[in-house]
Structure 1
Amino acid sequence: KTGALENITNNPAQDIFPMWAPNGKIYFVSERTSRANLFSYDLATKQTKQLTHFMEYDVKFPSIGPGAIVFEQAGQVWRLDLATDKSAPVAITVAEDSVSTRPALVNVSRFIEGLDLAPDGQRVTVVARGDVFTVPAKDGPTRNLTQTQGVHERSAVWSPNGKSIAYLSDATGENELFVRAQDGRSPAVQLTTGGDTYYFNLSWSPDSKKILWGDRKQRLRWVDVATKAVSLVAENPDAPIFDYSWSPDSQWVTWVRNVRGTLPKVMVSSLADQSTLTVADSSYASSRPTFSDDGKWLLFASARDYRPIYSDTEWNHAYQNMERVYLVALAKDTVSPFAPKSDEVAIAKDDDKKPSDDKSAEKPEKNDAAKKAVVVKIDADGLADRVISLPITPSNYGPIRMVGDKVYYRRVPGGPVGGGGGGEGFGGGAATRSVIAVYDLKAKKETELGNFDSFELSANGKKLLLRLGKDYSLIDTPAAKIELKPEAKLDLSGLELRLDLPAEWKQIYDESWRQMRDFYYAPNMHNVGWAAQHDKYAALLPWVATRNDLTYLLGELVGELHSGHTYVGDGDRAQAPRIKTGLLGAEVSRDPASRAYRIDKILHGENWQTKTRSPLTELGVNVHDGDYLLAVNGTPTRDLANLYSALVGTVGKQVVLRVNAQPVDEGAHDVTVIPIGDESPLYYDNWVQGNIDYVSKQTGGKVGYLHIPDMGPEGLNEFVRRFYPQLDKEALIVDVRGNGGGNVSPMIIERLQRELVMINVGRNGTPTPNPRDMLVGPKLTLMNEYSASDGDLFPYRFKTLGLGKLVGKRSWGGVVGIAGSLPFTDGGTLMKPEFAPYAKDGSGWIIEGHGVDPDIVVDNDPAREFKGEDQQLDRAISEIVTELKTQRQTLPPIPAWPDK
């Protein structure tokens, strides 16, 4: 056996599932035809033959056995005879009780999609598992208002008069608006027809006569509940309109316009004359607009606090926590709550009326309805001059609500991203706990009410709905810090419905198809005949028996678009409980003679941080390479079928190991360690450091090396961790092989792209480049077929900007962008490619479906790679050393000191 490698397929298509048969042929699945089919390669004749010719559905998951290959196609099992190359379906009858698809009465409180508070706070609408419920604050039954099967109702909102609940439903096959009585005693009324896109959240007008909503066609519209007439408020050619609300007199709508190339601005549109005013222009990013309940003010969050943070790693800046809550006086004669005040003596006039003894003068108003109706007056002239800010801590704010003299808001401080803590929405980092607070304009004082994830005030301002994690509580609107009592927690035990899984799965299938239709970046859907694709895979729905089956089918459907990032997953599916096995951070092997386990190699890490802690290297643990593990928690390892059977469930727990330099008990000693659950960070760290050392050794210390595993916070951390300590190198190899993508490649490219402008030097100092923190010298990027997404974009940017050569294999080829999943009834996810790059000269679409071609193609031989040889890295070293001979850039010596 020579270990020599022969490439038997070499075409742009994907060739997978190789199977070596005794007849001297290698069988595999290839996508070189319009569908994935089975092929064979004859080792003697070197000929490739297509064996199946399916045109509608792909061949999947082949498995070879004596004389035949079985595979899945169109939901059936097929058998291909190796002697004849003929295939036929296998008749399979499974006697089963369809337990997984039986209707069942289930509690759906785990699948809450949204809540809305009744105007008086006595009930809460809850959307869960596609149905609309109302839950009492304390007493009474939970009501399922819709009770539909295979329908997704969402965005349920209570009318301000308390009579009705509006919601979105796809009962017709498209998104439409419905309204029904809040007690559910009368049938639902459909308000809209002709739905042709995705609809965003509903908003009732305060007079309960109109409902506002935005959609994916970037319109903002409202419907008259009585006449069902639909009117347009605004259209935005640059982006959908998500952020909107009504004025208290129901005659104005405020909304946020996102404009390409500028910052989002706050608009106000009149229903009376269809005019639109700009309240907060694009000088600052503004959002979350809302009118005060008295109609005198428009409140919004805006990023206007500029307080740069200087980086600890280099001379650079960032901005965080830039927002405050702002108020704009809509009428010129509105008095600022922060206007100067002076106590003066009141002077009586002769004609002042004497105190009346009329008892009727002391009578209170009958009710709130007797109060004068609010009329919103907006003086367009000078609006920008009437903006004031609340004197509160700059942070991130929203939602906002003003009732009387009190402004309620949610504050979310920005913080570190990634594995640290804080940083809402970036890179999966845990968000800093948000604060619900109120600012009293009379007392000029802010009161923090507590740490909660979200809040909603009732329309009358007397009740407050709070969410903390998965718990919801309803309380009287407080004036001081909240101390929740158990009885305030909403009782969700009544959120029950009869679940028809096949009907739900069909709805999820249809909605997935619609969402892709409405959000996919290319309106022509790549000309794949999207309607026909729906019907093609819908034909397989009757055979879906589990949520995993549905996920698989959805993957096949969206796969027809031939795009990357079309991910499907999650949902309500059975999952086996997982018990983590403790790991020691070492490679071990069994000694045949003693049956003890030998420690062949301890993986060294960085024990000051949890992620790369190596248990056998911690302080006080006296263990070395070559030692033997004789017992685990008193159980002799010679009695174990497998060492790790004794480490099941020990992650983070103390384990006593008996260790000796020889596989005998005499002279052994015990050590206590705490196993880890994942050794991959240790292997990764050792691999990277090994490459750094190898490159340095091969180049005489002249060339630096770093690897970027992804383009998220962890990848950024790796870059910063490895880049700055190597700025003294003369050249750099940047390795993005296996990079899983993200969005930080522009930040990294900016640092690699810096050009020398001047050189700084001080007394007795060493010359340093300016700008600082740059590596002067040639650079090179290593890439392979697993450089994906932003890992594709990095080498493209690197090459386009002329930063150096690309070495390795063509990258993955998936750069269409995603923006998160929309809600599904069972918590499933669907990622929709919503934007894609094309060439800066307009010549065409780039990267997607092909990848980025390297300047120098090098494919690692698997046999040699298994032995530890990295041909791609060796070629990169060879290239960069050659470049150093002709392109070496060193700082010129210090000139003669000035003579003045």
Structure 2
Amino acid sequence: MSWFSDEGGEYHLVIADQFGGNRKKINFKKPTFYYTPVWSPDSKYISFGDADRNLWVVNVETGSAQLIDNEGFAHPERTIYPEWSPDSKWIAYTKRLKNQYNAIFIYSIEKKKSFQLTDGMSDSRSPAWDAGGKYIYFLASTNYGLNVGWLDLSSQERPIRRAIYMAVLTKDAPSPFLPKSDDEVTEKKVNKNNKKDVKDKCPSVNIDFKDIQKRIISLNLPERNYSSLKAGKQGVLFYLESVPNEGLKLHRYSVEKRKGEKIADGIQTYTVSNDGEKLLCRFKGGKWVIADANGKINAGKGVIKTADMKMRLVPSEEWKQIFREAWRFQRDYFYVKNVHGLDLDWAYRTYSPWVDHVRHRVDLTYILDILGGETSVGHSFTGGGDLPDVERVPVGLLGADYKIDNGKYRIVRIYNGENWNPKLRAPLSAPGIDVREGDYLLAVNGIELNSDVNLYSLFAETAGKQITITVNDKPVREGSRNFTVIPVRSEAALRQRAWIENNRRKVDKLSNGKLAYVWLPNTSTAGYNSFNRYYFAQQDKKGAVIDERFNQGGSIADYIIDLLSRDLIGYFNNPVGKHQPFTAPNAAIWGPKVMIINEMAGSGGDMMPYMFKFKKIGPLVGTRTWGGLVGIWDVPRLVDGGYITAPRGGFYNVKGQWDVEGKGITPDVYVEQTPKMVNTGHDPQLEKAVEVAMELLKKYEVKLLPQPPDPVRVKRPVK
């Protein structure tokens, strides 16, 4: 067996017998982090990937390593990994082409040369050799499209469909899907005296690369979101299917039967034994199961008892390993080689002695935070790790603000939420709950509540559970009302929605109904959903205030910017009602747009106003953004489950200059949120944005043109 070990401070390959003895160490010229080591079937080679997406093969006997290829891009999804042919003479792998689609390649051990199998007009991945040596299978998608822009918001809600394909490797081999003959087949007798059973003979894999793309055929399976294609015994395939709202399902396909069948639900990952007889599956909840590859899988049978596994751990030694690994993350993954000019050796010499004084994982996190800070980068985060479990009391909340009045708690504001939305359920605004602003909260579950009692002490352990509250419009029990309510665990979503709706109403009032208001919490799923919900529902407005304050980033908001920058190119008439025409394009708000920014918006929240300004959509109002435009992905977790980031990609502009990171985006109209104005109910930035937009409306308001006179297109010669 083999594994990578960082004993001594750097990773190296270790080969040992099945008991971990007779160890042989193989070092590499430039040690880094390594991925997906796979033995060749004849045990002469091991192939693996590294941090820089290189694919290697090492000769076990000599220890010499040969570079096969590079994936081409530091994409968040690693698709380059080795798949050995049954005869150990070929390695199939995936790499990204210049168009950023994946293609299948095959490397010849003998010739030390790679051959491209697929043409790059589809996104192809997950190669798997048939055990018989005549075919290679793979997945391919022809609707991959906008998913190539993995960092772009426009890749949201773009379902991928993949089909499963087979390439017939030699020009003389027939397709296994040719029409079957009705003639009887005489079984060939196997000589029992043969020293080797036919099944044990390793097939020789021969490949005719000329015209091989003409020998690619599709399996008779519908296109679905398939992944993790793996070969079992000859003519048997396994693959995962992602089903919306249901998760992953494992299927088995038989080439002979020309049929696929589902064999497991709720699976997360799996692997196939070398002989194709067993499956190792991981199910939800972290349960591992060894199952027969020939039948359906029962998640309750063959369970590996991982709960019984224990290891001896010396925290002080582990903390030293974690520190060095975190340092190596900056060395091997940082998006520019000079690490912003940091002398990494100096950083290690300076901070590694501190680890000797660590007495708790939080102490180590503090040191890692300082180490990351030395890189002078916006996205430097660390946390998690092996921390003690802390039992937390789920305090229930009613979604209300209170004040003390007459020695009682009085409800000042009730947050309404959306009771049809599970994430915005408001306990006091449900149908039949007649609790009003101004009421006194007198008791909880019959226990009297006065201002000398901590209000929330009576709500301990009540989140999500029915309780009875007693309220009255007077601070006395007489005439009080009792209601059964279910407190929520958090009011954050209710309060956020109240802030959004208050802003929307304020913009509507200040603009006399002419301006839309859209808040974007991030440039990920929540921001995408918020934009779609609020922007298009206000298409009747003459302009828009786009509020990206406190934007937490995520993706590049090309989807939003593209829609905000649309130009009106014409109309389609509407022959009914008041004849309001359809605009072309139809999904847009025409007229001026103003964006509000602040210092709490960063990352994708930096990039969005950058693009807004670059496309000259409108002015920016507020304060300068955070200035953190690098991407964090691709870096492994620390050994105890903790993390420290090492940015993997940074932004530079069309002039070839590094931009935004460390600078932020400066507003066109600078406005601060002064405490005095905010505390008196004002939002200076929002109010100024409305003022600027209304001024622009005077000059740039778009008025839809009415339908012109009916055209006369029928013409006949005049007699």
2:174 to 300, 324, 335: 335
Of stretches 771-780 and 457-466 in structure 1, the one that deviates more from structure 2 is 457-466
Q: Give the partner amino acid of 2:662.
A: G
Name the amino acid aligned to 2:11. Answer: N
- Paired residues for 1:146-161 under 5 Å: none
* Contact 1:191-1:223 at 8 Å conserved across structures: no
Paired AA for residue 246 in structure 1: W
Cα displacement string for residues 627-647 of structure 1 (whole angstroms, at most 9, x for unaligned residues)? 111110010012861111000
**Per-residue deviation, 1:478:** 3.0
2:313 alignment counterpart = 499
Q: Does 1:285 align with 2:115?
A: no
Give the whole-Å Cα distance in 1 for the aligned partners of 2:144 and 2:659: 37
Contact 1:220 1:241 in 2 (8 A): no
Aligned partners of 2:457 and 2:635: how far apart in 1? Answer: 39
| Aligned 8 A contact 2:87 2:205 in 1 | yes
What SS does structure 2 have at the residue aligned with 1:617?
coil
CA contact (8 A) 1:707 1:718 kept: yes
Residue 179 of structure 1 and its aligned partner are, at CA, apart by 0.7
Question: Which letter does structure 1 place at the counterpart of 2:19?
Answer: D
Change (3 A) 1:280 1:490: same
1:604 to 386, 391, 416: 416
Q: CA deviation at 1:867?
A: 2.2
1:753 aligns with 2:565: yes
For the 8 Å contact 1:325–1:397, the answer to whether it is kept is: no
Distance in 2, matches of 1:740 and 1:307, equals 27
Aligned partner of 1:407 in structure 2 is 237
Are 2:285 and 1:456 aligned? no
Give 1:385's aligned residue: 214
Asked whether the 8 Å contact 2:130–2:235 carries over to 1, the reply is no
Aligned twin of 1:861:
674
The Cα shift of 1:796 comes to 0.2
Of 583, 598, 608, which residue of structure 2 is paired with 1:784? 598
Call closer, same or farther: CA 1:544–1:180 in 2, change over 3 Å. same
1:616 corresponds to which of 396, 417, 428: 428
Which letter maps to 1:175? Y
Q: Does 1:876 align with 2:689?
A: yes
Unaligned runs of at least 5 residues, structure 1: 1-164, 310-314, 349-354, 416-421, 423-431
How far the C-alpha of 1:830 sits from its partner, in A, is: 2.1
Return the TM-score normalized by structure 1.
0.75
Q: Please give the per-residue CA displacement for 1:104-138, whole angstroms capped at 9, x wherever unaligned.
A: xxxxxxxxxxxxxxxxxxxxxxxxxxxxxxxxxxx
Confirm or deny: 8 A CA contact 1:243 1:287 kept in the other structure.
Answer: no
**1:536 pairs with 2:350:** yes
In structure 2, relative to structure 1, the CA distance for the partners of 1:648 and 1:726 (3 Å cut) is same
Task: Name the SS of the counterpart of 2:450 in structure 1.
Answer: helix
Aligned positions of 1:89-100 closer than 5 A: none
1:689 corresponds in structure 2 to 501
Cα shift at 1:370: 7.7
Distance in 2 (alpha carbons) for counterparts of 1:893 and 1:316: 36
Contact 1:219 1:241 in 2 (8 A): no
Counterpart position of 1:243: 81
- Residue number among 259, 270, 276 corresponding to 2:114 in the alignment: 276
1:225 equivalent to 2:39? Answer: no
Deviation sequence 1:210-255 (CA, Å, 0-9, x none): 0001112342211111111222222455457632211111111111
Deviation at 1:200, TM superposition (A): 1.6
Offset, 1:389:
1.8
Cα shift at 1:369: 8.0
What SS does the corresponding residue of 1:664 show, helix, strand or coil?
coil
| Number of equivalenced pairs | 699
Preserved CA contact (<8 Å) 2:232 2:277: no
- Cα RMSD of the aligned pairs, angstroms, is 2.3
CA contact (8 A) 1:821 1:831 kept: yes
Residue 717 of structure 1, CA deviation = 1.2
Following TM superposition, by how much is the alpha carbon of 1:307 offset from its aligned partner in structure 2, in angstroms? 11
Match of 2:717 in 1: none
Asked if structure 2 preserves the Cα contact closer than 8 Å seen for 1:365 and 1:371, the reply is: no
Maintained 8 Å contact 1:265/1:282: yes
Determine the C-alpha separation between the residues in 2 that align with 1:583 and 1:830. Answer: 34
Q: Measure how far apart 1:262 and its partner are.
A: 3.2
Secondary structure of the equivalent of 1:497?
A: coil
CA–CA distance in 2 between the matches of 1:849 and 1:194?
35
1:325 counterpart letter in structure 2:
I
* Structure 1 segment 556-595 matched on structure 2, within 5 A: 556-591=370-405, 593=406, 595=407
1:644 aligns with 2:456: yes
How far is the alpha carbon of 1:505 from its aligned partner? 0.6
1:838 aligns to 2:674 (yes or no): no
* Unmatched 5+ stretches in structure 2: 148-153, 714-719
What SS does the corresponding residue of 1:622 show, helix, strand or coil? coil
- Contact 1:400–1:410 (CA under 8 A) maintained in structure 2: no
Aligned to 1:234: 69
| Residue in structure 1 matching 2:362, options 511, 528, 548 | 548
State the TM-score, normalized to the length of structure 2: 0.93
After superposition, what is the alpha-carbon deviation per residue over 1:699-757, rounded to whole angstroms, capped at 9, x for unaligned? 11111111111111111111111101111111100000001111151111111111111
CA distance in 2 between counterparts of 1:386 and 1:622 reads 72
Report the CA distance between 1:691 and its aligned residue: 1.1
- Kindly provide the amino acid, as one letter, of the partner of residue 7 in structure 2: A
| Change in 2 beyond 3 A, CA 1:453/1:365 | farther
Cα distance in structure 1, aligned partners of 2:281 and 2:452 = 53
Give 1:23-38 correspondences, 5 Å limit.
Answer: none
**Which residue pairs with 1:768 in the alignment?**
582
Compared CA separation, residues 655 and 361, structure 1 to 2 (3 A): closer
Matched with 1:66 is: none
Residue 7 (structure 2) aligns with: 171
Partners of 1:361 and 1:215 lie apart in 2 by 46
Determine whether 1:658 maps to 2:470. Answer: yes
Q: For structure 1, which segment, 198-207 or 316-325, has the greater mean C-alpha deviation from structure 2 after superposition?
A: 316-325
Counterpart Cα distance in 2 of 1:344 and 1:176:
58
User: Sequence identity of aligned pairs in percent?
Assistant: 33
| Structure 1: distance between partners of 2:290 and 2:200 | 28
- Computing the radius of gyration from Cα coordinates, the structure with the larger value is 1
Whole-Å Cα distance in 1 between the matches of residues 325 and 358 of structure 2? Answer: 16
Instruction: Tell me, in whole angstroms, the C-alpha distance in 1 between the residues paired with 2:144 and 2:305.
Output: 44
Partner Cα separation in structure 2 for residue 818 and residue 168 of structure 1: 25
Conserved in 1, the CA contact under 8 Å of 2:521 and 2:549? yes
Q: 1:316 to 1:848 in 2, by over 3 A?
A: closer
Instruction: Go from structure 1 to structure 2 and tell me whether the alpha carbon gap of 1:378 and 1:887 turns closer, same or farther (over 3 Å shift).
Output: same
Contact 1:465 1:473 in 2 (8 A): yes
Q: Is the 8 A contact 2:606 2:625 kept in 1?
A: yes
Q: Which moved more, 1:491-500 or 1:567-576?
A: 491-500
1:259 maps to 97
Q: Deviations over 1:324-343 (max 9, x none)?
A: 22111111122212111221
Give the letter for the 1:569 counterpart: G
Specify whether residues 724 and 170 from structure 1 end up closer, same or farther in structure 2 by C-alpha distance, changes over 3 A only: same
Matched, 1:731 2:570: no
Change (3 A) 1:685 1:667: same
Question: What do the CA deviations read for 1:763-782 (whole angstroms, capped 9, x no partner)?
Answer: 13311210111111010100
Helix, strand or coil: the match of 1:563? coil
Q: Write out aligned runs for 1:423-434 (5 A).
A: 432-434=246-248
1:183 aligned to 2:13?
no
Judge conservation of contact 2:233–2:277 (CA < 8 Å) in 1: no
Cα distance in 1 between the residues matched to 2:183 and 2:631? 64
2:491 paired with 1:679: yes
Partner of 1:412, secondary structure, is strand
- Aligned-residue offset at 1:836: 0.6
How far the C-alpha of 1:825 sits from its partner, in A, is 1.7
In 2, Cα distance between equivalents of 1:435 and 1:546: 41
- Whether the 8 Å contact between 2:72 and 2:96 is mirrored in structure 1 is no
- Displacement, 1:868? 1.7
1:135 equivalent in structure 2: none
Matching residue's letter, 1:606: E
Is the alpha carbon distance of 1:459 and 1:870 closer, same or farther for their aligned partners in structure 2, counting shifts above 3 Å? same
